[in-house]
Structure 1
Amino acid sequence: MAVPWGAFHFPSMIDLSIHPTTKILLWLVFAIAVQRFDFAVLALFSVIAILWMALAGGLSEGVLMLRRARWLLLSLLLIYAFATPGDPVLPLLGAFSPSLQGLRGGALQAWRLALLLVALALLLRSCPRENLLSGLYVLLRPFRKVGMNPERVAVRLWLTLHYAEQQTRQKMQAWREELRSALDPAPNVALHVSLELPAFTWRDAIVLVLATLLLGLALW
């Protein structure tokens, strides 16, 4: 699809409570820090995440996210259980028995991943598609110096999310027709994508400082 980059316009900045870029950075910091969380910290953040999603009315979205990743979580648990040496859970199986240390490690890793997915669900709920792309665009702008085109990346992400949403709404269409339509060449039409870039405020600075402190404590 031909996209006239001159039509890719970013309106003047508007005022929002927290910048989408700040939210994305906060999630990235959490994704790094969660790998160092032990049982007690994981339990604390899990309670906070559940309460947060319940108050925000997005508990069903978090459950759906975990349900879609259930086989990934189970595979992670099994890989740790059978690949980590330790005390066998079933001594009769000998070397083919999962280890107790592996089950503990796999359960913790699956728990960390599940908590990260819940945090992602919170991010997606708090950031509409346009705001999310605006935040990603701001994060990608520094890479312009190494040859990356942030406008092109933002447009491709917008198109991906747009057509994915259209396909989701067409649930009554047969899968063969969906596959055929996906393989058909896209029409050569002009596309105008407009993203609003909110201004960074003192609230963003406070959140980023707290996120940095969290990351420092987790990596200490």
Structure 2
Amino acid sequence: MSRETGWYSNVHPVLRIVSFVIFSLFLALGNPAQLVAAAMIVVLLFATAGRDSIAGLWKTLLRMRWFLLSILIIYAWMTPGPPLFPTPDYSAWLPTTTGLIEGVRRLLALALIVAAVHWLLFVTPQHQLVSALYWLALPARLLGISRERVAVRVALILRRVVQVQELVERQVKQAGVSKGDVRGYAKVSAGLVEQVIVRAEHTPCESVEIAVSDRPPLWQWIWPALLTTLLMLTGGLATL
């Protein structure tokens, strides 16, 4: 299924972003029942988005594996509680049961948020994303922030990220760096920083066009409302 032809293609980009924010806020609470409900939602979204979206998510999670593992280790060893195994001689060196449970919950919440971000970027073209952010940044005027600058910076970041990714892949291939070669990656990284700085200094100014997003249809606000209701009911049932 193409990313432009799914059921989500009819949902306004502004409401996709609003739904993502609501989704992330509930996950930050770490309620187990809400985590299960969120996981089911993510599975449904990726099942309708196609295999390409799943493959991209897997690559993203693999790149974050050491970061995710470090979070689990910090929670497991730094959270007070009963040790995982009843061994008095080594209990101080063992992870705690409370820490492992809390670490897994935080790990799952973070992985689900990453999955939601990946899905949002996969099904929403860049021009729609920037246009939606421009529309959502309207209240920023009250704080004296120009929403035009916000939208332009987001557009430039998205454009440059793709270029930097291509540059990284090219340099790694040319250097012949193998997996696990920390020194090789360090040398490539040092060279990449210099190249990025040089490119930034010599890149001419370019114009950025931002399409002003139309107002989301009133009836489509039912999507974030339904999501909020579902997650609130799930959290409420867990406390009964």
TM-score bin (small chain): 0.7 to 0.9
Cα gap change, 1:107 to 1:212, in 2 (>3 Å): closer
Task: Label 1:81 to 1:189 Cα distance change in 2 as closer, same or farther (>3 A).
Answer: closer
Post-superposition CA distance 1:117-139 (Å, at most 9, x none): 11111111121111111121112
Identity of aligned residues (%): 30
Give the Cα–Cα distance (whole angstroms) in 2 for the partners of residues 190 and 51 of structure 1. Answer: 40
Is the contact between residue 82 and residue 102 of structure 1 (CA under 8 Å) also seen in structure 2?
A: yes
- In the TM superposition, residue 103 of structure 1 has moved relative to its aligned partner by 0.7
Note if 1:192 corresponds to 2:187: no
Query: Structure 1, unaligned stretches of length 5 or more?
Result: 1-15
Contact 2:34 2:234 in 1 (8 A): no
**Corresponding residue number in structure 2 for 1:74:** 69
Give the TM-score normalised by the residue count of structure 1: 0.81
| Equivalent residues of 1:81, 1:98 under 8 A apart | yes
Instruction: Kindly provide the amino acid, as one letter, of the partner of residue 227 in structure 2.
Output: A
* Structure 2 partner of 1:109: 106
Per-residue deviation at 1:114?
0.8
SS in 2 for 1:172: helix
Matched, 1:129 2:126: yes
1:207 aligned residue (201, 223, 228) = 223
Rounded Cα–Cα distance in structure 1 between residues aligned with 2:136 and 2:151 = 11
RCO higher in structure (CA 8 A, sep ≥6): 1
Q: Which runs of 5+ in 2 are unaligned?
A: 1-8, 175-187
Q: CA deviation at 1:73?
A: 1.5
| 1:19–1:200 contact (8 Å) kept in structure 2 | yes
Return closer, same or farther for 1:210/1:40 CA change in 2, 3 Å cut-off: closer
Residue 195 of structure 1: CA displacement? Answer: 2.1
RMSD over aligned Cα atoms: 2.4
Using the TM superposition, name which of 98-107 and 171-180 deviates more. 171-180
The letter of the residue matching 2:98 is Q
What is the rounded CA distance, in whole Å, between the counterparts of 1:157 and 1:199 in structure 2? 20
Q: 1:203 to 1:66 in 2, by over 3 A?
A: farther
1:27 to 20, 24, 28: 20
Between the two proteins, the alignment pairs up a number of residues equal to 205
Q: 2:3 corresponds to which residue?
A: none
Distance change (3 Å), C-alpha of 1:47 and 1:172: same
Whole-Å Cα distance in 2 between the matches of residues 126 and 84 of structure 1?
38
Name the structure 2 match of 1:180: 194
Do the aligned partners of 1:18 and 1:203 also contact (CA within 8 Å) in 2? Answer: no
Contact 1:26 1:208 in 2 (8 A): yes
* TM superposition score normalised by structure 2: 0.75
Residues 130 and 196, structure 1, Cα contact 8 Å, conserved in 2 = no
CA deviation after TM superposition for structure 1 residue 215, in Å: 5.4
Residues 13-46 of structure 1, C-alpha deviation per residue, up to 9 Å, x if partnerless? xxx7222121111111111112345445433432
Task: Give the whole-Å Cα distance in 1 for the aligned partners of 2:203 and 2:20.
Answer: 36
8 Å Cα contact 1:36/1:218 also seen in 2: no
CA contact (8 A) 2:134 2:212 kept: no
